């Protein structure tokens, strides 16, 4: 009986530890590179079903749920913008975000194709 009780306690502690680790991993800040959408995508449907508009503050990410708001910080100048995830991509291994042109222009120079960024989920 005592062995069974100890086993149950160990399983509960393990479960809570894994849950706690997953929650921290989701909320953690991540660094990568971001690019922006070409104008030719204006008016096309995104993976979420929304119509893409380069004037709105939106972005694409491969794994974050649609509708998630994230704060993106340009690591070169410290400027920040909040964007909503409404599409999947980018499909280039060196980038984590494709941003609308308006959002990219808010924190960086569209004359450059990519910028180093830090991003995190916000409420």
Sketch out the chain's domains with CATH numbers. Answer: 30-121 (2.40.40.10)
Q: Could you give the CA distance from residue 103 to residue 107 in angstroms, rounded to a whole number?
A: 7
Backbone phi, psi, residue 112, to 5°: -100, 140
Helix (H) or strand (E) holding 40: none
- pLDDT tens digits along 49-67: 999 999 999 999 999 999 9
Taking the alpha carbons of 100, 102, 103, 107 in that order, is the dihedral positive or negative? positive
Going by DSSP bridges, is the β-strand pair 80-87/69-74 parallel, antiparallel, or unpaired?
antiparallel
- pLDDT tens digits along 78-102: 999 999 999 999 988 899 999 999 9
Token couple for 35: 């690019």
């Amino acid at each position: 009986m005592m062995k069974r009780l100890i086993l149950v306690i160990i399983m509960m502690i393990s479960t809570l530890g894994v849950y706690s680790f997953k929650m921290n991993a989701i909320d953690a800040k991540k660094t990568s590179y971001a690019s922006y959408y070409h104008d030719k995508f204006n008016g096309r449907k995104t993976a979420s079903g929304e119509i893409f508009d380069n004037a709105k503050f939106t972005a694409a990410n491969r794994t974050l749920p649609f509708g998630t708001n994230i704060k993106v910080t340009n690591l070169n100048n410290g400027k920040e913008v909040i964007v909503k995830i409404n599409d999947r991509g980018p499909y280039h291994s060196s980038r984590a975000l494709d941003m609308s042109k308006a959002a990219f222009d808010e924190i960086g120079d569209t004359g450059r194709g990519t910028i180093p960024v830090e991003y995190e989920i916000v409420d």
